[in-house]
Amino acid sequence: MNDQDFDGRLRALEDNLPVQPMQFDATMGSSAQRPSRALSAIGVLGVVTASAVLAIAAAELLPRSDGTSSVGLSSPTADPSGQEATLPVAPSYGPRALSCGAGIGGNHPIAEFDIEHASEIPTIFPGMKRNPDLESDPRPAHVVVFGEGFVLPPTAGIGSPPESASSAVCVVHEGGERVLYPNVSLEGFTPPQTSNPGGE
Amino acid sequence: LRYGVNRREFDEIILPLYNPLQRRLLMIVRDQDVAADLTQEAFVNAWRAWHSFDGRQPRAWLFQIGVRLALNYLRRQAVWNRVRQQLRPQPEVIPSVEPDLWQALGALRPKERTALLFSVDGYTYREIAGLLGVSSGTVGSLIARARAQLRAAMEMQ
């Protein structure tokens, strides 16, 4: 038996092996129904879910622009008309957008995109102040752009007052490192064609 | 702009590789449940790393993730498996096609099996070396040894 025959038999063997049904649900970015090995999946899902819950909770707790808070007002039965009100549907954000503050205080990304090198960012945002570190950063990055009225994510723990910025550019590197550039002028910025606002 | 930022691309390119990866991992680990678990773990990892995928050779990219998981699993389980098999033999996979060849493959070491399978796929020694974390020369030895052992085993049957 020569190598070619042998290789053909190996391929036939592999092609006819039984498989178990797919357990991966890409809509969640994780696997389901198989608890034995799903710890990493639970980790991913847990982080995403926890981030979403925290973001939504923060959005509920933070004062609105008119100084009011939505705490205690969004019960489904609180509608004075007596009709059951439906809960608002929270927009879904990817983990990187969430880490940049999406969902907090109504923050909604107007654009999201990946770039080969973070050093390209100043050319994409010609109105941005000069930043030597960024201009020389060769790492790939995911960029999340927020428009007017961006609320800075709290950094001093629960209870710290929210700060506002006119707009912001958030740069997320592989590995999760995040740098937020508040008050970036978006003048001259055109979202790239593959921009993916609000999702990943 | 980089490749692989949305789920539709992942669904179109990577999901069809689910069964091929599961079969390849079954060839390596030889346990149906473990192969299925490792496949889903590989897909979770692939989804997490999807933003970093450069769009080239998706099969090689995914299989590399899966094979590394499989070899790590086998390394971790090596001692434990020896004990466990003495207590309770694991259910044996009996393929409907080439059962003798399957049996003979079981006598090979995991890296020999893996190197042989990827050489049959047409991977270069250098690519297989990167996959296994060994030198190209070692890959040549692994493949030669695997073929010789399999040939000898098949001739005895």
Digit-coded pLDDT (tens) for B15-32? 999 999 999 999 999 999
Q: Which burial class, exposed, middle or buried, applies to A39 when counting CB atoms under 10 A from its CB (0-12, 13-18, 19+)?
A: exposed
Mutation for B interface: A5, A7, A10, A112, most B CBs within 10 A? A10
Mutation for B interface: A4, A24, A28, most B CBs within 10 A? A24
Cross-chain CB nearest to A34 (options B40, B52, B93):
B40
DSSP-derived letter for residue A146 is E
How close B86 gets to chain A, by Cα (Å)?
A: 22
Least confident of A35-39, A116-120, B5-9: A35-39
**Residue where the block lists tokens 């590789």:** B17
The average pLDDT across A26-45 equals 42
Q: Which helix (H) or strand (E) element contains residue B82?
A: helix B58-87
Q: What distance in Å separates the CA atoms of residue A48 and residue A94, rounded to the nearest whole number?
A: 8
CB atoms within 10 A of CB A175: 7
* Tokens standing for residue B23: 């079969």
How close A24 gets to chain B, by Cα (Å)?
A: 6
Please state, for a pLDDT cut of 70, what percent of chain B lies above it. 87
* Tokens standing for residue B15: 């999901």
pLDDT of residue B107: 92
Q: Pick from B64, B58, B65, B51: which is nearest to B3 by CA?
A: B51
**Residue where the block lists tokens 């006819």:** A16
Helix (H, G, I), strand (E, B) or coil at A186: coil
The average pLDDT across B31-51 equals 90
Is the confidence at residue A44, as pLDDT, over 50?
no
3-state secondary structure A12-56: HHHHCCCCCCCCEECCCCEECCCHHHCHHHHHHHHHHHHHHHHHH
Cross-chain CB nearest to A30 (options B18, B44, B102):
B44
From chain B, pick out residues whose CB is under 8 angstroms from the CB of A26. 7, 10-11, 15, 43, 47
Query: For A155-197, what is each residue's pLDDT tens digit?
Result: 433 444 456 667 888 888 877 788 888 888 888 887 665 545 4
From chain A, pick out residues whose CB is under 8 angstroms from the CB of B22. 19-20
Beta-carbon separation of A29 and B47 below 8 A: yes
pLDDT of residue B49: 86
| Segments in A81-154 forming alpha helices (H) | 95-99, 121-124, 132-135
Question: At B56, is the pLDDT very low, low, confident or very high (cuts 50, 70, 90)?
Answer: confident
pLDDT of residue A127: 82
Question: At A105, is the pLDDT very low, low, confident or very high (cuts 50, 70, 90)?
Answer: low
Is the confidence at residue B85, as pLDDT, over 60?
no
**Residue where the block lists tokens 């945002």:** A125
DSSP string, B104-115: HHTTS-HHHHHH
**Long-range residue pairs from B139-145, CB within 8 A, at least 24 positions apart, any chain:** B139/B115, B142/B111, B142/B112, B142/B115, B142/B116, B143/B112, B143/B115, B143/B116, B143/B119, B145/B112
From chain B, pick out residues whose CB is under 8 angstroms from the CB of A196. 5-6
Contact A149, A104 (CB under 8 A): no
Contact B108, B150 (CB under 8 A): yes
Question: At B3, is the pLDDT very low, low, confident or very high (cuts 50, 70, 90)?
Answer: very low
Q: Pick from A66, A148, A69: which is nearest to A107 by CA?
A: A148
pLDDT of residue A173: 84
* Tokens standing for residue B66: 């899966």
Residue A199 sits at the chain B interface (C-beta within 8 Å): yes
A-B Cβ pairs (cutoff 8 Å, strict): 127
How close A74 gets to chain B, by Cα (Å)?
A: 32
DSSP string, B33-56: HHHHHHHHHHHHHHHHTGGG--SS
Please state, for a pLDDT cut of 90, what percent of chain B lies above it. 59
Beta-carbon separation of A12 and B36 below 8 A: no
Is the confidence at residue A11, as pLDDT, over 90?
yes
Question: At B61, is the pLDDT very low, low, confident or very high (cuts 50, 70, 90)?
Answer: very high
Predicted model pTM: 0.51
Question: At A17, is the pLDDT very low, low, confident or very high (cuts 50, 70, 90)?
Answer: very high
pLDDT top residue among B24 and A31:
B24
Contact B119, A3 (CB under 8 A): no
Chain A residue with Cα closest to B38: A37
Q: Pick from B21, B51, B15, B49: which is nearest to B36 by CA?
A: B21
The average pLDDT across B33-41 equals 93
Report phi then psi at A114, rounded to 5: -105, 150
Measured CA to CA in angstroms, residue A23 lies from A33, A38, B8, B18, B32 at distances of: 7, 10, 18, 10, 14
Is the confidence at residue A92, as pLDDT, over 80?
no
Q: What distance in Å separates the CA atoms of residue A59 and residue A71, rounded to the nearest whole number?
A: 10
Is the confidence at residue A46, as pLDDT, over 90?
no
